[in-house]
A and B are shown apart, each in its own frame.
Chain A
Amino acid sequence: DIVMTQTPLSLSVTPGQPASISCKSSQSLLYSDGKTYIFWYLQKPGQPPQLLIYEVSNRISGVPDRFGGSGSGTDFTLQISRVEAEDVGIYYCMQGLKLPITFGQGTRLEIK
C-alpha cells in the first residue's frame, strides 16, 4: 500500500498568517497519463470531509484562492496564504493512484 505521511500533525496559526502542510508519499503518484493523483480534503468539526484540491494544484469550484497546492512525485504541499477562522479543521492528503486509496494521518489546524 502507498503510505501517506503528513507533517505537522497540528498547526496553530494567527488569522491572516500563512500555513503550510506537507504530505509525502511512499512512491511516486505520477501516472503514465501525466497526471499526479494526489488530493486534499478538509474535515471541518462535525462534518464529513470536503474535497479542496485535486491532482496537486487544482482547486474545486468554490474553494477560495487562498488555498493552493504544489509538489511533484512524492512530495506535496498544501498552502493557505492567509488563514481565516473558517479554515479550522483537519486536513487530509489522499492518493488516488492505486488501490487501496490511502490517506495521510491528518493535520489539525487551529486558530490562535
Chain B
Amino acid sequence: GNSVTQMEGPVTLSEEAFLTINCTYTATGYPSLFWYVQYPGEGLQLLLKATKADDKGSNKGFEATYRKETTSFHLEKGSVQVSDSAVYFCALSDDGGTGRRALTFGSGTRLQVQP
C-alpha cells in the first residue's frame, strides 16, 4: 500500500533560518505529491503540489521537487518567518488527479519559528 514518511518534529528555528522538512513516500505507479499546512485552529490548506517526476511545486516562498529516483518530496524555504509556525503534512494521491480517492498523509511536522 501507499505510505508517506516525514521527519518528526517539532522543528524549532529562528526567524530567517533555512527550513527543510524531509518527506519520502512509497507508492505504486506515479502518484501526485502534496504539502499541506495546518495553522492553529484552522483546517488543512494546500501549500503546493507536484504531479510528475522533476516537477517543482512552489508557493509563499516554499518549494518542493518531486524526486522519483529517491521517492522524496522535501519541503524547503530559504528564510522562515514567525507566521510560518504551523504543522506541515506531506501527502500523496494515486487517483490520477480525479480526486476520487482520499489522500495518504504523513504524520505531520510541527514547525516553530522564534523571533
A, B bound: no
Interface residues of A (CB under 8 A from B): none
